[in-house]
């Protein structure tokens, strides 16, 4: 991949990382705060536990995404960015534009998802 393109994707990934960290902190704090705001009856409590789990689920997805972004940044450093880690073919740039942290080409991704190896 050309230097200028790599830099372009690096900036994209850095921006994404900053946004994810911010979102994670926010959601995490919201989930922690739930139900910690005074007296509540058992219906409130059930509702809060329900909400807390939904929020923590979202936190988990963001945390996973953040991990993928970090890995992509490392691949940029190692000059292996934009190459499918499964078949070592170049990943379509349109796909990278849409998913800058993509590890797999479209073919490998659908195959791995079908086999339930990956979620994202």
- 71, 103 contact by CB (below 8 A): yes
Q: Which range binds Zn ion by CB under 5 A, 28-36, 51-59, 67-75, 81-89?
A: 81-89
Nearer to Zn ion, 62 or 101 (CB): 101
Whole-number Å distance between alpha carbons of 69 and 18? 10
* CB nearer to Zn ion: pick between 70 and 86: 86
- 87, 117, 118, 120: which one contacts Zn ion (CB under 5 A)? 87
- Does residue number 84 form part of the binding site for Zn ion (CB under 5 A)? yes
Task: Please report whether residue 111 would count as binding Zn ion according to CB under 5 A.
Answer: no
Handedness of CA 74, 76, 80, 81 (dihedral sign): positive
Write down the least CB distance from residue 88 to Zn ion, Å: 7
User: How many residues make contact with Zn ion (CB under 5 A)?
Assistant: 5
Is residue 13 near Zn ion by the rule CB under 5 A?
no
> Which of 47, 86, 92, 111 touches Zn ion (CB under 5 A)?
86
Contact positions vs Zn ion (CB under 5 A): 84, 86-87, 105, 108
């Amino acid at each position: 991949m050309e230097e200028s393109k790599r830099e372009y994707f690096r900036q994209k990934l850095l921006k994404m990382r900053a946004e994810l960290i911010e979102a994670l902190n926010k959601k995490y704090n919201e989930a922690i705060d739930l139900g910690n705001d005074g007296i509540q009856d058992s219906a409130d409590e059930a509702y809060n536990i329900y909400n807390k789990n939904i929020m923590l689920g979202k936190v988990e997805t963001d945390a996973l995404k953040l991990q993928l972004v970090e890995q992509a940044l490392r691949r940029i450093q190692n000059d292996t960015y934009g190459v499918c880690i499964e078949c070592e073919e170049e990943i379509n740039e349109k796909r990278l534009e849409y998913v800058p942290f993509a590890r797999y080409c479209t073919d490998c991704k659908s195959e791995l998802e079908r086999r339930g190896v990956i979620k994202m």
